[in-house]
Amino acid sequence: MTMELRHLRAFLAITEEGTITRAAARLHTGQPALSRTLRQLETHLGVRLVDRSTHHLELTAAGRTFRERAAAALAAVDRALDPRSLASLPLRLGHPWAALGDLTVPLLRRWDEEHPDVPLELRRVDDRTAGLTQGTVDVALLRGEVTAPGLVTELLMEEDRVAVVPAGSALAARDTLTLADLASSPIALNTVAGTTTLALWPASGRPTETIEVTNTDEWLTAIAVGRAVGISTSATPRLHTHPSIVYRPLTDAPPVPLVLAWRSGTPTHPAIETLVRLARELVAGL
């Protein structure tokens, strides 16, 4: 027979109350049923836990040892099933690049001040959903269209696009740039988590050469050494300065949505709603 938590609770009630009668009343069950539960537990363990030969029940040596184990096991289960205990778990915030831009540090500082009992862990994950669909983070800051199924999104803002070009190039000498200005150069495309595709350009004027990279570091390097130009959002210049890279406003490209995303239909971290409210508050203050 499979043992259940009720067997442990029944045994502990008997040890605490001292008689089957009082234990049965405490558990709101009948004495015969409680006696059967105790016998089932003893049969499963292969030892006698309670000495029934005296007027008052007494634990055997095996019963005293098992009492400690049963109490520890039930305490662990109760803690695991208590939703309040989840509040102390770290809240893992993923992002593939740029996080919340120049609001990243204010977000982390405000969180530490207002919610010291819930660590907020910022994790960069080079993935389209920053590890959200794999379960490695609880919530993610994502840019562009979010197409992965089973996710809930909250729009925080729309970021302007910027052109990213090598310092010292002819393009770097311009105050602003257009998509057409970039079309004659190789375009660095982050194929894992980027928001730039050739679909930004009209079919008749698309770049003919691209360089594919898989993360932000490779993307920055390709531009810095003069192999390509790139397109990003206004959040990137604030987090990624480089002496060999220049950022210029891109005047004719649509903005990029920035969203907070989390999984739907499964148990989620109870602090996600609090994080959403704080992020909205910080964005509203811009």
CATH number of the domain at 144, please. Answer: 3.40.190.10
163, 181 Cβ separation under 8 angstroms: yes
Q: How many Å separate Cα 163 from the centre of its chain?
A: 31
pLDDT at 84: 61
Quick: pLDDT tens for 197-216. 999 999 999 999 999 999 99
- What three-state secondary structure class fits 101? helix
pLDDT at 40: 93
pTM higher than 0.85: no
Residue 87 burial (CB < 10 Å; 0-12/13-18/19+)? middle
In terms of domains, do 194 and 264 share one? no
What type of residue sits at position 127? D
Better-scored residue on pLDDT, 58 or 202: 202
What type of residue sits at position 83? P
Q: What phi and psi values does residue 187 have, to the nearest 5 degrees?
A: -105, 125
Host H or E run for residue 111: helix 104-114
Q: What domain range is 19 assigned to?
A: 5-81
Percent of the chain residues topping a pLDDT of 90: 69
pLDDT at 58: 87
In terms of domains, do 171 and 217 share one? yes
- With cut-offs at 50, 70 and 90, classify the pLDDT of residue 54: low
pLDDT of 151 > 70? The answer is yes
Domain count for the chain, please give it.
3
Residue 67's CATH number: 1.10.10.10
- With cut-offs at 50, 70 and 90, classify the pLDDT of residue 51: confident
In terms of domains, do 10 and 59 share one? yes
- With cut-offs at 50, 70 and 90, classify the pLDDT of residue 75: confident
Q: Which of 201, 228, 200 is nearest to 212 (CA)?
A: 228
In terms of domains, do 169 and 225 share one? yes
In terms of domains, do 77 and 30 share one? yes
Strand pairing report for 58-59 and 50-51: antiparallel
Indicate the residue among 81, 97, 115 that finishes a domain.
81
Average pLDDT over residues 264-271: 82
Average pLDDT over residues 124-142: 92
pLDDT at 266: 67
- What three-state secondary structure class fits 139? strand
pLDDT of 79 > 70? The answer is no
In terms of domains, do 165 and 248 share one? yes
Strand pairing report for 161-166 and 187-190: unpaired
pLDDT of 87 > 60? The answer is no
Indicate the residue among 81, 105, 134 that finishes a domain.
81
DSSP state of 177: B
In terms of domains, do 229 and 269 share one? no
Average pLDDT over residues 113-136: 92
Tokens (6 digits) for 228: 């390509």
pLDDT at 77: 80
In terms of domains, do 154 and 165 share one? no
pLDDT of 86 > 60? The answer is no
In terms of domains, do 168 and 235 share one? yes
Average pLDDT over residues 22-30: 89
In terms of domains, do 167 and 247 share one? yes
Q: What is the mean pLDDT of the chain?
A: 91
